Amino acid sequence: MSKNKKLTKEDCERMWGEDQPYSQVRLCEEVRILGDGVSRVFLVVEAEINPFTFEYILEYREKFKDDQAIQQLLDHADYRDKHGYIVYAGETELRGKESVDFAQEQASAAVQTLIKMHAFIIDEFGLEKNSGFGVVKDPLKNENFIWNSLSGQIEPADDEIWDEETLVGSPAGICNNKARFYFVLPFGRDFEHKKESAMLIIKNIKKTSAHFKAEIEEVESFQEYFFMTVLLPFEIAPADYIETFLNKCNTMAKKIIFQKNYLINNTKRPSPKEIMSFLGHLPR
């Protein structure tokens, strides 16, 4: 690599740092409020990349052809003017220690990806290296948290609250003489989170569930996938139910809302790691 490249004043301004590239990773709690109460709490990870670093790496992305993390970041980041390039790095509902650990792992992975991008800029332009690279602070201190409706805030909780019976509504995953199934449905590549798509999905959930006499316990839409918890009659094959729903959505939308691959679990709720592992193995 050449050590003779020079940065212009505009380059430095778009790099955000005085003499080094600056970017940041945010791990925050997102409290979702429905009506006059809190419905759920999520942990959300986002990365903000300075424009100069992102666009320079994009120009030389061939040098990172074997780095899947950088390639994915380049493909999925959105330009947000003064906020630079923003990329979603993961989210999970705050349900216990496992979700906190997962969010922190996603944040750490995003940090390491940005460090590699910054290091390339530093080497290209002969900038001074920072010995503090790689240090990640854990804002959640690796504790368990729960929403306290009386105090109106998130508070640390004892480990005992995170047992299996807390996470699954009924022992053995059976309720109302129906079996509980968890479904992870990946969105299609070109899916857009719009009101029309949401309405179509909900409409078909209701139609499909009525046809199979199923009960919906929970639905949640994430950036990359749709999550459902469903009670199915014992005589109904889960694949029949979910594939009927997927086909209805894709046919009515006249485009691919959901991919043909999906994840089913009837023993426990899939962990964030399991979901991300499943998504990572899907064909691109």
For residue 172, the model assigns a pLDDT of 38
**Mean pLDDT confidence for 227-255:** 90
Most distant CA atoms of the chain, gap in Å: 72
For residue 136, the model assigns a pLDDT of 35
Element holding 170 (H helix, E strand): none
Answer whether residue 131 shows pLDDT above 70.
no
Question: pLDDT tens digits for 134-182?
Answer: 333 334 444 444 444 344 444 444 444 333 333 333 333 677 778 889 9
- Domain span(s) for CATH 3.30.70.1290 in the chain: 165-280
Would you state the structure tokens that stand for residue 210, as one six-digit string? 């009525």
For residue 284, the model assigns a pLDDT of 63
For residue 208, the model assigns a pLDDT of 95
Q: Which amino acid is at 276?
A: M
Among candidate residues 233, 235, 242, 234, the one with its CA nearest the CA of residue 183: 242
Looking at every residue in the chain, the average pLDDT score rounds to 80
Question: pLDDT tens digits for 178-200?
Answer: 888 999 999 988 888 888 888 89
For residue 102, the model assigns a pLDDT of 87
Residue with tokens 């240090």, as numbered in its chain? 135
Domain spanning 165-280: CATH superfamily = Transposase IS200-like (3.30.70.1290)
pTM: 0.53
Question: pLDDT tens digits for 55-88?
Answer: 999 999 999 999 999 999 999 999 988 889 999 8
Sign of CA dihedral 211, 212, 217, 223: negative
Q: Which residues contact 26 (CB under 8 A, 6 or more apart)?
A: 44, 45, 46, 47, 48
- Between 128 and 272, where is the model more confident? 272
